[in-house]
Amino acid sequence: MKKAFAKICIVMVAALLLSAPQIAQAKQLTGELEIFSWWAGDEGPALEALIDLYKKQNPEVKVINATVTGGSGVNARAVLKTRMLGGEPPDSFQVHAGQELIGTWVKSDRMEDLTPLFKEQGWMDVFPEGLVKLIGTDKGIWSVPVNIHRSNVMWYSPANMKKWGIEAPKTWDEFFKIAPQLKAKGVTPLALAQNWTANHLWESVALASLGPDNWDALWAGKLKFDSPEVVKAWELFGKVLEYTNADAASLSWQQATDMVLDGRAAFNIMGDWAAGYMVTTKKLVPGKGFGYMASPDTTGEFMFLADSFGLPKGAPHRDNAIAWLKVLGSREGSDAFNPLKGSISARKDSDLSKYNDYLKSAAKDFGKDRVVGSLAHGVAANETFMSGFASVMEMFLKSKNPKAASMACAQLAKKAGI
């Protein structure tokens, strides 16, 4: 009887083990870990801080830092798509929280469910509920968030403002009043860089024009892309472009930031990785070496994006990847990475004493502002829309036709299932 009972117990335990998600990792990890991201150059030190922490915990693992350069991941996403569709996924890859993750890789059943890892690490209570919803579906949680970035930030030089006798504009009307004065001085009012930064600028201008309710309605399919409200946003964007630099297409976002710092331009609208660049690379002090404020007409609104890493199905070194994800989600990892990156932690319990004044202000705003998702950085729309929107932007930059751009977006939204 005892032997029979023991056999039943063994069978039950074996069944439980087979049915449980296989998250537990080996004690001594060896082999390789390929990390795929677009964090190179000035964003590299932040990634290296995470890799150093991983190596300290897993000294026998060889880390392959497979970065593909290109701001906002425009080049990396194309390479990743080829590898994923070709059955050669990296061990873990960078992906924006939101539709870039859910509407692209989760929808095509390419990711592993990380819910067991979240429960094991106690992350269900550590990350904001709203953020977890952006990386999850009713079937699971699909990535580990590493940061929160703000998209709608206007950067400027306090010293140059004083020299030119102007103040940073809180509204676009204020901007249009001082922009001609700046042009008369030979100063570009608003620095712009290559194509994706035009998408970035557009979303801040559109948010200002539409307001947060209509912005959310747009991505929920409740406001049409060819509506008068959206046409008006394109019209405002076209007017803003009149005060940008003619050589934008040839510049990186860092070079556009440099234009502001050396006085060739007055303002730049860029995500707060620009703060990371100015603090980490340029060694400037927030509030003194550079100033910041919400982009015009978006005070009280926080357009956010979050970088995250997932575990693709078929990852060659799965255990090593899970250990990597544990570093990313840890408080130690988060507070080592974000102060260098120019972002705030995705965790609710980060140590703000490690963050500079800009990041402290961003953390405060994130807690009280109306939060909306970024288009340019993967929160609001899936890969189909994002890729197509880049073509719409190229068309608009040549034609400056708001109605044509709106109609093209409406067709694109239909194709993308919005």
The reported pLDDT for the residue numbered 99 is: 87
Tens-place pLDDT, residues 147-201: 999 999 999 999 999 999 999 999 999 999 999 999 999 999 999 999 899 999 9
Strands 149-150 and 301-305: antiparallel
Which residue, among 148, 172, 393, has the nearest Cα to 295 in the 3D structure?
172
Predicted confidence (pLDDT) at residue 146 exceeds the cutoff of 90 = yes
The reported pLDDT for the residue numbered 227 is: 98
Which residue, among 256, 289, 267, 261, has the nearest Cα to 358 in the 3D structure?
289
Tens-place pLDDT, residues 371-407: 999 999 989 998 889 889 999 999 999 999 999 999 9
Tens-place pLDDT, residues 4-19: 445 544 444 444 444 4
CA 369 vs CA 99, 170, 201, 205, 299: distances in Å: 22, 16, 20, 18, 8
pTM summary value? 0.84
Q: Which helix (H) or strand (E) holds 172?
A: helix 172-184
Per the CB < 8 A criterion, the answer to whether 141 and 132 are in contact is yes
DSSP tag of 80: H
Confidence band, pLDDT 50/70/90 cuts, at residue 245: very high
Predicted confidence (pLDDT) at residue 26 exceeds the cutoff of 80 = no
The reported pLDDT for the residue numbered 74 is: 78
The reported pLDDT for the residue numbered 20 is: 44
Read off the pLDDT of each residue in 321-328 and give the average, rounded to a whole number. 98
Average pLDDT, the chain: 92
The reported pLDDT for the residue numbered 72 is: 66
The reported pLDDT for the residue numbered 9 is: 46
- If you search the block for the tokens 């919005």, which residue do you land on? 418
Which residue, among 80, 34, 100, 68, has the nearest Cα to 387 in the 3D structure?
100
Mean pLDDT lowest among 25-34, 110-119, 143-152, 178-187? 25-34
Per the CB < 8 A criterion, the answer to whether 365 and 84 are in contact is no
Read off the pLDDT of each residue in 307-325 and give the average, rounded to a whole number. 97
Amino acid present at 87: G
Predicted confidence (pLDDT) at residue 2 exceeds the cutoff of 60 = no
SS3 of 411, please? helix
Per the CB < 8 A criterion, the answer to whether 383 and 104 are in contact is yes
Pick the more confident residue, 71 or 266.
Answer: 266
Q: How many CB atoms lie within 10 A of CB 105?
A: 24
The reported pLDDT for the residue numbered 15 is: 44
The reported pLDDT for the residue numbered 57 is: 97
Read off the pLDDT of each residue in 61-83 and give the average, rounded to a whole number. 88
CA 401 vs CA 195, 246, 396, 404, 408: distances in Å: 17, 18, 6, 5, 11
Per the CB < 8 A criterion, the answer to whether 49 and 340 are in contact is yes
Q: Following DSSP, what letter does each residue of 273-340 receive, concatenated?
A: HHHHIIIIIT-PPBTTTBEEEEPTT-TTEEEEE-EEEE-BTT-TTHHHHHHHHHHHHSHHHHHHHHHH
Tens-place pLDDT, residues 42-70: 888 999 999 999 999 999 999 999 999 87
Angstrom distance (rounded) from CA 272 to CA 251: 18
Confidence band, pLDDT 50/70/90 cuts, at residue 236: very high
Tens-place pLDDT, residues 255-311: 999 999 999 999 999 999 999 899 989 999 999 999 999 999 999 999 999 999 999
